[in-house]
Amino acid sequence: MTEVSEIPLHMRRAQFDPISELGEVRDSAGVCPVVTPFGVPAHLVSRYDDVREVLSDSARFSTADRRALTPPDAAGPTEEEYARARVGNLLSYDPPEHTRLRRMLTPEFTMRRMRALEPRIVDIVNAALDDVERAGKPADLVSTFALPVPSLVICELLGVPYADRADFQRRTADQLDASQPPQRRLALQQASRAYMATLVERARRDPGEDILGMLVREHGDDVSAEELVGIASLLLLAGHETTANMLGLGTLALLRHPDQLARVRDDPASVEPAVEELLRWLSIVHAGIPRTATTEVTIAGSTIAAGEHVVLALPGANRDPALVDDPDHLDITREPTGHVAFGHGLHHCLGAPLARLELRIAYPSLLRRFPGLALAVPYEQIAFRPYSVIHGLQALPVTW
Amino acid sequence: MRIVAERDRCIGAGNCVMTAPEVFDQGEDGLVTPLVDEADPVDPASVDAARRAVDRCPATALRAVED
């Protein structure tokens, strides 16, 4: 296991907040050395403007360089094994390959498609709340609500049997756990791909109305089976791990700010700005995928040589006073900000409209169903996930 | 103020449609389709939202042109 002191600066939290050292870096040099959770030395960029500059410049900052994810002297998996595990993963491509894959998916996540999905998501949320209510109090909101809702949504959209959720949820949670050894994380990634390959194979024989079916029908000749596996594996992982942690952590944040919780529950107009503020304030993705400089660049006065790696501290950017006044204060009445919780640039979260829709439906539905929602244990006993590359809770015991 | 959209750069994130729905829509392909012709000025009531959409476009596919 990784010791707590080895967790890199940008992943360390004091409950919801980034630790104060991150703010100190932002207020002084702006950039500092860091070793990624995967053992790679990098430059940590912490200010809003600098983070946006790096993320929007895919020519000078590549995501396709495997060395950004592989320690230099790794005795573990070979480069080739890593490469095979990344085929079709949109995050590991630069333009024009990235553009080709992303354009196949953009029609599936338009605002119009989201509006059409809304009634089904309302049904899924209400059914999950019925289950929570029937099972009785106390309940762990992570395992009974925060995880099932986005899992069910992405399974239906993608064409993955929900019955398989226990296996893929365990695999993805461990894949994102930086305390797991590289060999094990790679093995889990390979297991995820092997599972997805069976679904891709089925979709190629008999394409359904889901995203896998659409990809086969409309792009079957332009996309390889291996690429389909990579695309679908990424969508499945990203589709449930992120929104699930926003739901769990966001609910806890609201429970800690009862006046703001009451607004989300009672005033429909407050929900959209509340979701944006929770996304900004929680910044559950500590950093996007690391970048590799393709040429020598200067960021905040620091020189980054060609071939060196850059990590973007998204909570640093989202808590930057340059973005918003009083950034450490959760205030759902703010005008929505241009936060970077979904990233920025070409790799900006494809599923952001879906995540927003799920959160806008789920928070108020939960709070209206259980107006007396409260923690079932003292706050000090709530366990956060210290090693995951996505911030979240182990469990959220509640009563009502 | 006029809006110029470069569909070639668009990644279909939908931020502009969310931020300024009077000014931007998406085509069937998910890419940006401005609702105001690029030769025409944006309605003054929508100018602030349109500016925010330009600033927040993750793909830098939008420009605000002041004539």
Choices 3.50.50.60, 3.30.70.20, 3.30.230.70, 2.40.50.140: CATH for B2-65:
3.30.70.20
Q: Chain B partners of A350 at a C-beta cutoff of 8 Å? A: 12-13
* Domain layout of chain B by residue ranges: 2-65
Interface predicted TM-score (ipTM) of this complex, two decimals: 0.95
Q: Which of residues 10-49 of B touch A (CB under 8 A)?
A: 11-15, 17-18, 26, 28-31
What pLDDT is recorded for position A30?
Answer: 97
Of B15, B18, B26, the CB nearest to A112: B26
Q: What is the 3-state secondary structure (H, E, C) of chain A?
A: CCCHHHCCHHHCEECCEECHHHHHHHHCCCEEEEECCCCCEEEEECCHHHHHHHHCCCCCEECCCHHHCCCCCCCCCCHHHHHHHHCCCHHHCCCCHHHHHHHHHHHHHCHHHHHHHHHHHHHHHHHHHHHHHHHCCCEEHHHHHHCHHHHHHHHHHHCCCHHHHHHHHHHHHHHCECCCCHHHHHHHHHHHHHHHHHHHHHHHHCCCCCHHHHHHHHHCCCCCHHHHHHHHHHHHHHHHHHHHHHHHHHHHHHHCCHHHHHHHHHCHHHHHHHHHHHHHHHCCECCCCCEEECCCEEECCEEECCCCEEEECHHHHHCCCCCCCCCCCCCCCCCCCCCCCCCCCCCCCCCHHHHHHHHHHHHHHHHHHCCCCEECCCHHHCCECCCECECCECCCEEEC
Residue A349 to residue B13, Cβ atoms within 8 A: yes
Name the residue range of residue A169's domain: 4-399
| pLDDT of B23 above 90 | yes
Output the tens digit of pLDDT for each of chain A's 400 residues. Answer: 444 447 999 999 999 999 999 999 999 999 999 999 888 999 999 999 999 999 999 999 999 988 888 776 656 677 788 788 889 999 999 999 999 999 999 999 999 999 999 999 999 999 999 999 999 999 999 999 999 999 999 999 999 999 999 899 899 989 889 888 878 888 998 999 999 999 999 999 999 999 999 999 999 889 999 999 999 999 999 999 999 999 999 999 999 999 999 999 999 999 999 999 999 999 999 998 999 999 999 999 999 999 999 999 999 999 999 999 999 999 999 999 999 999 999 999 999 999 999 999 999 999 999 999 999 999 999 999 988 999 999 999 999 9
Residue A111 to residue B26, Cβ atoms within 8 A: yes
Residue B14 to residue A345, Cβ atoms within 8 A: no
Q: Closest-CA residue in chain B for A346? A: B59
Residue B29 to residue A353, Cβ atoms within 8 A: no
Residue A338 to residue B12, Cβ atoms within 8 A: no
Q: What is the pTM of this model?
A: 0.96
Which CATH number is A389's domain given? 1.10.630.10
Of A103, A112, A348, the CB nearest to B58: A348
Domains held by chain A: number: 1
